[in-house]
Amino acid sequence: MDREVFQERFGMLGDSDAIRHVIDKIMQVSGTDITVLLEGESGVGKDVTARALHAMSNRKHNDLVIVNCGAIPEGIIESELFGHEKGSFTGAHESRKGYFEKADQGTIFLDEIGDTPKNVQVKLLRVLETGEFFRVGSSKVSTTDVRVIAATNQDLWQMVEEGSFREDLYYRLDTVKIKLPPLRERSEDIIPIFRKFVNEFSSKYDSVFRGFSDEARELLTSYRWPGNIRELRNVAEQLVVLEKSQYVDADTLRKYLKGRQREGIADNLPVISDPARQNFGEEYTPGGSTDQALIYRALMELQNDMSDLKKMLGRLIYTTFSGKEIRALPPAMQRSINPEDLGPQRSGEPSSSHDFSPTARFSEDDSLKMESQLKEEDEFSRFLSQEELPSIEETEKFLIQQALKKFEGNRRKASEVLGISERTLYRKLDQYDLT
């Protein structure tokens, strides 16, 4: 099956490099039983990807069992996953199979795996490694043969470092990782995906969608889409139903957008209706509570930008200084000094016994590393201690420069430590005219 047929069959539309890479990786691993970890923000299509992996696998004629680990209460998640015996707890009136048993010979999709309690993570590790598990209330070992696909919108490695996720389970899940890009990082795919949704809903509701103005189309592609494809689908449905047979301009579209419209900018915000006037159908006029709401929204967006910069700064500082140990000077040595030792050393004579051994003193490399580290720390300190608070753009530019300097121009490593995609980094380099 070629890529175009695959995309049409599973609805994973788009022609961007990011989505092409994802599809190629799905097609590469789908025919195996290898564990796959899907990473991506909420709404990017992790469930669609899991269904595609199953449908392309050798297990496609058996069940795909979907489990949202974050939606199951902590007290019953073990029973839900592994089943229970009759009488094992209050309310257990009969024996029951868990999801792993139901998925035997098929595929189990563990969505939001990061929300799994640590006591259950131990049991997950065992069933992933050996296929063995115990029902709640049973001492008999049960077995299952399943292919595991897990998904998360969290940073699992950060959770490992914080102690909330088991490191051994992380390595077991991280066999093959597929990162699903957010919609804002593949803006060229927005129009084709939106067109598909419009056609789908126009047919469903027997409606006609007349199209966009150029300004509305530009707004559609520049909007951040915090809800990703899920939000895009929702907006398409609303426009088809509520703006039936209407030509949509930017002002009309803006009413249906909930978050920021342009990445890194807090302007062009959606209009917030004044609830007091909404009941009477009055139009917005300058002044009053709506102005206050807009100002409040702008401040919230600014806070989000600052939060993003803090995360970038934290990652860069952690990567720069973590794992670098500054050795202390060797302790003073207690000994008596022979005055003759203070004179010039005669040729051919062995060096005096008070010379430091190589392991007891700083090497030249240690000195250079310490000097470099202190210089990097000074640069951070000077930048953050300016009399005038640096702007968001200045801070972002500084962090990018430091990351590129640290990794000697390696953009892949720089983007990883900054927590952004390479595509976003390239755009920022162009925006700030950095070479």
- Given this model, what pLDDT does residue 396 score? 81
63, 106 Cβ separation under 8 angstroms: yes
- Given this model, what pLDDT does residue 46 score? 94
Q: Nearest Cα to 398, choosing from 413, 380, 410?
A: 380
Asked if pLDDT for residue 342 goes beyond 80, the answer is no
- Given this model, what pLDDT does residue 346 score? 47
DSSP annotation string for 168-234: HHHHHHTTEEEEPPPGGG-GGGHHHHHHHHHHHHHHHTT-----B-HHHHHHHHHS--TTHHHHHHH
pLDDT band at 134 (very low <50, low <70, confident <90, very high): very high
Asked if pLDDT for residue 189 goes beyond 60, the answer is yes
- Angle among Cα 152, 51, 5 to the nearest 5 degrees reads 125
Say what the alpha-carbon torsion angle 284, 289, 290, 292 is, to the nearest 10 degrees: 150
Kindly state the average pLDDT of the residues 352-372: 50
For residues 148 and 110, what is the distance between their CA atoms, to the nearest angstrom? 7
Kindly state the average pLDDT of the residues 387-402: 77
Greater confidence (423 vs 75) lies with 75
Asked if pLDDT for residue 25 goes beyond 70, the answer is yes
Q: Are β-strands 147-152 and 64-68 bridged in parallel, bridged antiparallel, or unpaired?
A: unpaired
For each of the domains in the chain, give its residue range(s) and CATH number, in order of start.
Answer: 3-181 (3.40.50.300), 185-270 (1.10.8.60), 288-324+362-435 (no CATH)
pLDDT band at 268 (very low <50, low <70, confident <90, very high): very low
Q: Residue type at 10?
A: F
Percent of the chain topping pLDDT 90: 45
Chain position carrying tokens 């509305």: 216
- Given this model, what pLDDT does residue 359 score? 42
pLDDT band at 313 (very low <50, low <70, confident <90, very high): low
pLDDT band at 65 (very low <50, low <70, confident <90, very high): very high
Report the first-to-last Cα separation within the chain, whole angstroms: 41
- Given this model, what pLDDT does residue 419 score? 78
Token readout for 30 is: 């789908």
Q: Picking from 34-38, 117-121, 186-190, 319-323, which range would have the lowest pLDDT averaged per residue? A: 319-323
- Angle among Cα 221, 267, 291 to the nearest 5 degrees reads 130
pLDDT band at 270 (very low <50, low <70, confident <90, very high): very low
Asked if pLDDT for residue 7 goes beyond 80, the answer is yes
Q: Nearest Cα to 138, choosing from 108, 107, 101, 103?
A: 101
Kindly state the average pLDDT of the residues 261-274: 38
